[in-house]
């Protein structure tokens, strides 16, 4: 049994450490499917785990990395056979179960999704948890009854991973997308993804009024805090906002006014424990509604050794769009 490289996070006597170790399959955790990992990605949460800036990792030692694509090498599950190409997003990988930043992973079959036929393993990781969550937000809005004829949709943190995919998919579905960003230099990038209008995020970070001028019928918010509160106060009557992120903070300094005076709905989105039936629907919708040329335009590639620096960069808001990590470990 050959060895493979893995990032290993440990915490001993309160000291958080990240290093690369050589492991064998015998070191992996229990699961009914073993996968040779070919690609992964860096989400905001991966940045938190790699730097130790928030308690994402809940079991030590841990192999970080919440998303992977790869090829099954052994399976005790009737659902997967050696050679099958699979995708994993979330489900506790990299948090409580050894995750993606290693040459091999052993996982539970119920977490795995067959790689959609139209996507390459690298494209599946260009989507990753961020793109998956963007689509989950859009499905939540649709289930609420939101539709492009109701008015524009705002996307906050638009130049980030969730935001970029949300902009591209909403635009393809016919929404007039208003992209909010703190990086005005990325206006052309966001318009290239399909944004009709780009606004500076400072428009959404000022003092929150209970109700403000109605600007959009729907929203995908990745920022939280004052930004989400302002988005809610500017949402049209009977509109809805899907909240998935906290890049600007975990608090929510709002009032009940948008809910009781404008019938606005706040829809919570958690991708980690997303039920399997919805997980499969999200991947089907991504394969159908995400323009792959736009996905490629928002994606950059890094190597296994670039992970720590990229994890720090995403927390500083310096990563544009999505990152794919080639795992040659
Ligand atoms: P990224 O870092 O790629 O994007 C976040 C974006 O938020 C940044 O690019 C920036 O956009 C904006 N931003 C960052 N800091 C601030 C700030 N202080 N104030 C306002 N805007 C800010 O991360 P992801 O897209 O991967 O994730 C976005 C958020 O969604 C994170 O909080 C993440 O934890 C959460 N998330 C939640 C999931 C769930 O299951 N609920 C799943 C996936 C992600 P810009 O430069 O355009 O202003």
Region 98-121: mean pLDDT is 97
Interatomic CA distance for residues 240 and 223, integer angstroms:
16
Residue 256 token pair: 């009940």
Q: Which atom of ligand 1 is nearest to the CA of 130?
A: 43
Strands (E), 31-165: 33-41, 67-75, 85-89, 104-107, 113-114, 153-156
Region 191-211: mean pLDDT is 97
pLDDT of residue 297: 92
Answer yes or no: is the C-beta of 161 below 6 A from any ligand 1 atom.
Answer: yes
Residue 68 token pair: 């992977």
Collect all residues with Cβ–Cβ distance below 8 Å to 206 and sequence separation of at least 6. Answer: 226, 230
Closest CA to 126 of 169, 68, 170, 194: 68
Region 308-327: mean pLDDT is 95
Centroid of ligand 1 to alpha carbon of 238 (angstroms): 26
Share of the chain above pLDDT 90, in %: 96
Residue 202 token pair: 């400072």
20-66 residue pLDDT tens: 999 999 999 999 999 999 999 999 999 999 999 988 999 999 999 99
Answer yes or no: is the C-beta of 199 below 6 A from any ligand 1 atom.
Answer: no
User: Are 327 and 20 a contacting pair, CB within 8 Å?
Assistant: no
User: Are 88 and 112 a contacting pair, CB within 8 Å?
Assistant: yes
* pLDDT at residue 1 is higher than 70: no
Residue identified by tokens 């050589």 is 22
Answer yes or no: is the C-beta of 298 below 6 A from any ligand 1 atom.
Answer: no
DSSP helix/strand/coil, 294: helix
Answer yes or no: is the C-beta of 48 below 6 A from any ligand 1 atom.
Answer: no
């Amino acid at each position: 049994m050959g060895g493979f490289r893995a990032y290993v996070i440990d915490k001993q006597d309160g000291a958080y450490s990240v290093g690369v170790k050589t492991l064998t399959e015998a070191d992996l955790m229990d699961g009914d499917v073993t996968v040779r990992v070919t690609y992964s990605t860096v989400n905001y949460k991966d940045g938190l785990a790699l730097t130790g800036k928030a308690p994402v990792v809940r079991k030590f030692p841990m192999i970080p990395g919440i998303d992977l694509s790869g090829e099954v090498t052994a399976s005790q599950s009737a659902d997967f056979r050696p050679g099958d190409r699979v995708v994993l997003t979330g489900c506790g990988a990299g948090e409580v179960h050894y995750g993606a930043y290693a040459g091999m992973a052993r996982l539970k079959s119920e977490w795995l999704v067959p790689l959609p036929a139209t996507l390459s393993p690298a494209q599946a990781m260009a989507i990753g948890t961020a793109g998956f969550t963007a689509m989950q937000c859009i499905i939540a809005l649709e289930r609420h009854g939101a539709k492009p004829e109701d008015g524009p949709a705002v996307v906050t943190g638009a130049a980030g991973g969730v935001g970029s995919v949300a902009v591209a998919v909403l635009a393809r579905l016919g929404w007039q997308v208003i992209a909010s960003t703190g990086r005005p230099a990325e206006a052309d990038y966001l318009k290239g993804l399909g944004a009709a209008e780009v606004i500076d995020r400072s428009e959404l970070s000022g003092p929150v009024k209970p109700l403000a001028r109605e600007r959009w019928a729907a929203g995908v918010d990745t920022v939280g805090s004052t930004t989400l509160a302002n988005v809610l106060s500017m949402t049209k009557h009977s509109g809805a906002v899907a909240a998935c992120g906290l890049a600007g903070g975990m608090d929510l300094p709002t009032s009940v006014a948008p809910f009781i005076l404008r019938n606005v709905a706040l829809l919570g989105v958690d991708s980690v424990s997303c039920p399997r039936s919805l997980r499969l629907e999200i991947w089907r919708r991504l394969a159908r509604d995400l323009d792959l040329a736009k996905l490629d335009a928002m994606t950059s590639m890094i190597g296994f050794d670039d992970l720590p620096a990229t994890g720090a960069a995403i927390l500083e808001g310096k990563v544009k769009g999505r990152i794919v990590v080639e795992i040659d470990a």
